[in-house]
Amino acid sequence: MSRVTECQPDDNSIVGSIHPNADYLDRFQISCKPGQYTSVDEVASDWFVKQPAWIRLLSTNTVTKKGVTQAIENGGYSEGSSVGSWKVIDRDDQEIVFGDSMGFMEYRFSLRLQDNNQLVEGATSVQYLWRRAGKFYFALVKPMHRLFIQYLLKKTVA
Domains in the chain with CATH codes = 5-157 (3.30.530)
The pLDDT score that the predictor gives to residue 1 is 64
Segment 54-113, tens digit of pLDDT: 888 888 888 788 888 998 998 899 999 999 889 999 999 999 999 999 999 999 999 999
Q: What average pLDDT is seen over the chain?
A: 94
pLDDT of 134 reads 95
pTM across the whole model: 0.94
* Alpha helix positions (H), the chain: 14-17, 40-49, 53-60, 65-75, 131-157
